């Protein structure tokens, strides 16, 4: 028996909505399976993992707080991926953006005014964009593969942060421990009054909405999508692949840098040797899970943040390994990718005797 793919005449709308649900369902089944193999009650595990975090206010807030940087970075990445620019270095852009953004409160701690935060965020975005432009320029000028260069720069960025936090930017009053001085209140991203969420959340939401508008309703958005699907058609229309590469990397780097600055200023209040538990890489999953669409990314970011919180919940309540979270994330991505095939293709099972043995269409 052979599996055959028959291209659909147009993308199946029904499947576009169903496939992520099927994927989540399959992931839940696989997760339950893993729970029971490791000797734990599968239903209890699934409840603790997926559902319980949503039932309490503090865990819901924690989930939103964790989802925010993921969504922001993924929005930027989606612009890159839609235009066939494979930016894998968002993690490094996050870090360098945070460094640029933290420069103001660390080097000029007495500069406390209403302008501090906006300046920090602007610097952060610029810093991230600059770091992202390195692999972009290498691609446009030397044709160097951007996957590898952007990835290598992640390591370099982490080492740069490490050097600064242990050396020149170390807190003079901190007993030589590798951390910068705590930021002043003027440099700390505060919470939205009435909630315990930082301003990062509404800012991210606004960015996502703006991006959706740009992608869907403007020429730029059209350009991004066309150049991704058919560069030749795009070049006939006058779009430049090189300029688009620079643009998309700059946007992605800028948003990642902004996310980094907001995280350091809001959640951490200082620079530490590690400021990201892998946001830049997880955001790649979020981008694909959200099918490179800002609203999908919001949902996907939330689901992925949920998987982190859920992972801690099962660890704490059931003694399940904390690796379960990353296994479930990997499985989710796999199933989403596999199920997405159903949107573009129809699966046909062909029997041994060829067309005489056709069995089923999906």
Task: From 79, 73, 87, 241, select the one nearest 149 (Cα to Cα).
Answer: 87
Tell me whether residue 96 or residue 122 sits nearer to another protein (CB atom).
96
| Rounded Cα distance, 98 and 126, in Å | 10
Q: How far is CA 181 from CA 172, 177, 187, 194, 307, in A?
A: 8, 10, 12, 28, 32
**Is the CB of 113 or the CB of 142 nearer to another protein?**
142
CB of 3 to another protein, least distance (A): 6
Minimum gap (Å) between residue 303 Cβ and another protein:
15
The smaller minimum CB distance to another protein, of residues 116 and 329, is found at: 329
C-alpha span between 212 and 104 (Å, rounded)? 32
What is the closest distance, in whole angstroms, from the C-beta atom of residue 210 to another protein in the complex? 25
Complex with another protein: residue 50 or 288, whichever CB lies closer:
288
Q: Which two tokens stand for residue 338?
A: 């596999």
Per-residue exposure over 140-169, b if at least 16 CB sit within 10 Å of its own CB, e if not: beeeeebeebbbebbeebbebbeebbeeeb
> Least distance from C-beta 115 to another protein, angstroms?
26
Rounded least distance, CB 26 to another protein, Å:
13
DSSP per residue, 173-193: TSTT-S-PPPPPGGGS--BPT
Rounded Cα distance, 325 and 308, in Å: 6
Write down the least CB distance from residue 322 to another protein, Å.
5
Give whichever of 112 and 312 is closer to another protein, judged by the CB atom.
312
Cβ of residue 217: shortest distance to another protein, in angstroms?
A: 26
Task: Find, among 245, 223, 255, the residue nearest to 138 by Cα.
Answer: 245
For another protein, the closer of residues 122 and 342 by Cβ is: 342
**Residue 27: how many CA atoms within 13 Å on its side-chain side?**
28
Q: Coil, strand or helix: which one is 39? A: coil
Please choose, from the candidates 328, 336, 339, 330, the residue with its C-alpha nearest in 3D space to the C-alpha of residue 33.
328
Which residue number, 8 or 217, has a Cβ lying nearer to another protein? 8
């Amino acid at each position: 028996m052979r599996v055959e793919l028959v291209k659909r005449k147009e993308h199946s709308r029904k499947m576009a909505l169903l496939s992520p649900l099927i994927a989540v369902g399959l992931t839940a089944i696989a997760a339950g399976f893993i729970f029971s193999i490791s000797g734990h009650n599968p239903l209890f595990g699934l409840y603790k993992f997926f559902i319980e975090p949503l039932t309490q206010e503090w865990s819901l807030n924690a989930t939103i707080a964790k989802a925010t940087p993921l969504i922001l970075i993924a929005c930027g990445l989606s612009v890159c991926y839609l235009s066939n620019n494979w930016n894998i270095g968002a993690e490094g852009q996050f870090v360098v953006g945070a460094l640029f953004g933290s420069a103001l409160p660390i080097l000029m701690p007495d500069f406390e005014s209403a302008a501090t935060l906006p300046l920090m965020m602007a610097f952060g975005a610029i810093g991230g964009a600059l770091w992202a432009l390195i692999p972009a320029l290498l691609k446009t000028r030397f044709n160097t593969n951007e996957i590898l260069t952007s990835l290598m720069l992640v390591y370099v960025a982490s080492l740069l942060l490490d050097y600064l936090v242990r050396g020149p930017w170390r807190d003079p009053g901190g007993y030589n421990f590798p951390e910068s001085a705590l930021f002043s209140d003027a440099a700390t991203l505060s919470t939205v009054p009435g909630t315990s969420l930082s301003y990062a959340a509404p800012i991210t939401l606004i960015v996502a909405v703006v991006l959706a508008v740009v992608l869907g309703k403007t020429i730029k958005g059209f350009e991004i999508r066309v150049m991704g699907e058919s560069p030749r058609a795009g070049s006939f229309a006058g779009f430049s692949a090189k300029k688009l590469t620079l643009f998309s990397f700059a946007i992605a780097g800028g948003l990642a840098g902004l996310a980094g600055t907001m995280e350091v200023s809001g959640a951490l209040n200082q620079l530490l040797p590690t400021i990201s538990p892998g946001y830049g890489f997880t955001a790649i999953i979020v981008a694909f899970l959200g099918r490179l669409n800002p609203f999908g990314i919001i949902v996907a970011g939330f689901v992925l943040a949920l998987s982190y919180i859920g992972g801690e919940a099962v660890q704490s309540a059931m003694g399940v390994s904390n690796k379960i979270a990353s296994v479930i994330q990997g499985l989710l991505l796999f199933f989403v990718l596999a199920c997405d095939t159903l949107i573009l293709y129809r699966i046909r099972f062909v029997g041994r005797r060829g067309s005489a043995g056709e069995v089923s269409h999906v």
